[in-house]
């Protein structure tokens, strides 16, 4: 390495930036938080209920030489956005990267879902990200990034039993599209990243608990394997970096070719 290497060249493209990842105590959110921290961002690790898991993520980030702090607010309840930003403000004075990852990962089929369950999945997956952005506009710096974690199910009816969940991701994608025009004049990019089947504790029951679960899941991808949180986190990291500056209002397929 040369003596005059810039920060970006040293593998820390997000040095000096602050990121907030919702639902970052496990799964894809944890993968994203750890990756952004590795790229030099200071990361707010948001969790809903599992404080111990969030603190474990913070400890892992710090052990790897990164910087992070945990904030706990259950989303989908009245006042959730205000409460989250109030906690955030105690640790940081502004935000560069917002990753709306927290979500309820499934919903009962049409014949079984109750109104309460429907309202809950929309409250967490759609309303919470909307008002986090709404309340966060003054905190989000010009040139920043908003990345919404969508789903391949927003573009395919391969799992029609998850209709309400898929509907929330369709709504989130419209939010991405329109918000990109609203925030464009400030140089803020807004994109959706859509994972396919990823190995997390959310999918473990199906992948490992059913006879053909893993093979079936792997066969859905054109690449013949089940995705990992890192597969998604690397796409998010690209969009969060300066390299992603010209991509906005976009829906990025990170399903490993599951829609082809």
pLDDT of residue 241: 98
Does residue 92 surpass a pLDDT of 60?
yes
> What's the half-sphere exposure (Cβ side, CA atoms, 13 Å) at 83?
14
pLDDT score at 7: 47
Q: Is 3 domain-assigned?
A: no
**Structural domain includes residue 188:** yes
145 and 196 Cβ atoms separated by less than 8 Å: no
In a domain, 2, yes or no: no
Asked, for residue 53, whether it belongs to a domain, the answer is yes
Interhelix angle for 128-136 vs 80-89, to 10°? Answer: 50
Predicted TM-score (pTM) of this structure: 0.94
CB-based contacts of 63, cutoff 8 Å, min separation 6: none
Element (H, E) at 72: strand 67-72
- CA–CA distance, 110 with 108 (Å, rounded to integer): 7
Catalogue the active-site residues: 150-151, 165, 169
Lowest mean pLDDT among 96-105, 109-118, 217-226, 245-254: 217-226
What are the tens digits of pLDDT across the range 98-143? 999 999 999 999 999 999 999 999 999 999 999 999 999 999 999 9
User: Could you tell me the two tokens for 220?
Assistant: 């859905």
Asked if residue 140 belongs to a domain, the reply is yes
Q: Does residue 76 belong to any structural domain of this protein?
A: yes
Residue 260 belongs to a domain: no
Q: Is residue 1 part of a domain?
A: no
Rounded distance between C-alpha atoms, residue 37 and residue 42, angstroms = 6
Domain span at residue 210 reads: 9-254
Q: What is the CATH number of the domain that holds 90?
A: 3.40.50.720
- Of the listed ranges 60-64, 80-84, 175-179, 211-215, the one predicted with least confidence: 211-215
| Domain count of the fold of the chain | 1
């Amino acid at each position: 390495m040369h003596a005059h290497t810039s920060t970006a060249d040293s593998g820390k493209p997000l040095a000096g930036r602050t990121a907030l990842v919702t639902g970052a105590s496990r799964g894809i959110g944890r993968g994203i938080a750890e990756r952004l921290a590795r790229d030099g961002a200071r990361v707010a690790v948001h969790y809903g209920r599992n404080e111990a898991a969030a603190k474990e993520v913070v400890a892992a980030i710090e052990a790897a030489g990164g910087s992070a702090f945990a904030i706990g607010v259950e989303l989908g309840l009245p006042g959730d956005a205000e409460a989250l930003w109030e906690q955030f403000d105690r640790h940081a004075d502004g935000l560069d990267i917002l990753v709306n990852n927290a979500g309820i990962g499934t919903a009962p089929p049409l014949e079984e879902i109750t109104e309460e369950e429907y309202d809950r999945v929309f409250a967490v997956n759609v309303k919470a990200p909307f008002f986090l952005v709404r309340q966060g506009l003054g905190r989000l710096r010009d040139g920043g990034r908003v990345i919404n974690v969508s789903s391949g199910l927003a573009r395919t009816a391969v799992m029609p039993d998850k209709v309400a969940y898929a509907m929330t991701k369709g709504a989130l994608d419209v939010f991405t599209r329109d918000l990109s025009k609203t925030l464009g004049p400030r140089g803020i990019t807004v994109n959706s990243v859509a994972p396919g089947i990823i190995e997390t504790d959310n999918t473990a029951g199906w992948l490992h608990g059913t006879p053909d679960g893993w093979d079936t899941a792997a066969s859905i991808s054109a690449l013949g394997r089940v995705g990992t949180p890192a597969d998604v986190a690397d796409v998010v990291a690209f969009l969060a970096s300066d390299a992603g500056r010209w991509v906005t209002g976009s829906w990025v397929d990170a399903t490993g070719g599951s829609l082809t």
